[in-house]
Amino acid sequence: MNLSLPVPVQAQYWNGSNFVTNTYDNCTAIAADNVAMGNYQLNLTPCETAVSLSSPLLNGSTILNLGSPGATHNGSVDLTVNLAGASTGKTCLVSGGGQSAAVVAGMSWLQGKWSGSSYTVDPVARATFGVYRNANQFIFMQEKY
C-alpha cells in the first residue's frame, strides 16, 4: 500500500557559500494549483495522486502533500512550481477531482539559476511512490533462536 507523500518546500537564498532557508519568509503563498505535474513514470498516471499545500510559508518552509495513489500505482511524477511566465503543465487538486491547467504564481523573484545562464528557471522535484520497497526483499535479515 502506498502512503501519502510529504514533500518539503523551502524558500532559500545564497549567502555567498551555501543555500540557506529564508527564515524571515512568513508570507510567500504558493497555491496547490501553481504546481504542475508531469513526466509520469511506471504505473503512475495523471490524477492518481493530487496536490494539497499549506500556505503561506512559515519560517521559510511548508509541506506539499501528495495523496496516496493506491497500492498498485507505483512510479514517479515531476513537480514544477510555475512561478512566472506562461502556464505550463497540468495539476490535480484534492478538491477538484480532475486534471486542470496549472496556474502561474507570478513570483519571478523566486526563480533560480538551476541550469543555464539566467535566473529564470522554475524549481522541479521528483516524487516517487512505492518503487524502492518490496516486502520480500531485505538488505539484511537475521533470526535469533
Choose between 143 and 5: higher pLDDT. 5
Q: Considering the domain boundaries, does residue 60 fall inside one?
A: yes
Q: Considering the domain boundaries, does residue 88 fall inside one?
A: yes
Residues forming beta bridges with residue 121, ordered by sequence position: 112
Q: Considering the domain boundaries, does residue 98 fall inside one?
A: yes
Q: Considering the domain boundaries, does residue 135 fall inside one?
A: no
- Tell me, what's the pLDDT at 3? 83
State the cell numbers at 43.
504505473
- Tell me, what's the pLDDT at 20? 95
Burial 5-14 (b: 16+ CB within 10 A, else e): bebebbbbee
Q: Considering the domain boundaries, does residue 143 fall inside one?
A: no
Report the Cα–Cα distance between both ends of the chain, in Å, rounded.
31
Q: Considering the domain boundaries, does residue 15 fall inside one?
A: yes
Give 107-113 contacts, CB < 8 A, sequence gap 24+.
Answer: 107/28, 107/30, 107/83, 108/83, 108/84, 110/11, 110/28, 110/81, 110/83, 111/83, 111/84
Q: Considering the domain boundaries, does residue 134 fall inside one?
A: no
Q: Considering the domain boundaries, does residue 145 fall inside one?
A: no
| Most confident listed range (20-29, 110-119, 126-135) | 20-29
- pLDDT tens figures, 33-78: 899 999 999 999 888 999 998 778 999 999 999 998 988 888 999 9
**Structural domain of residue 103, as residue ranges?**
5-129
What percentage of the chain has pLDDT greater than the value 70?
A: 84
Report the number of distinct structural domains present in the chain.
Answer: 1
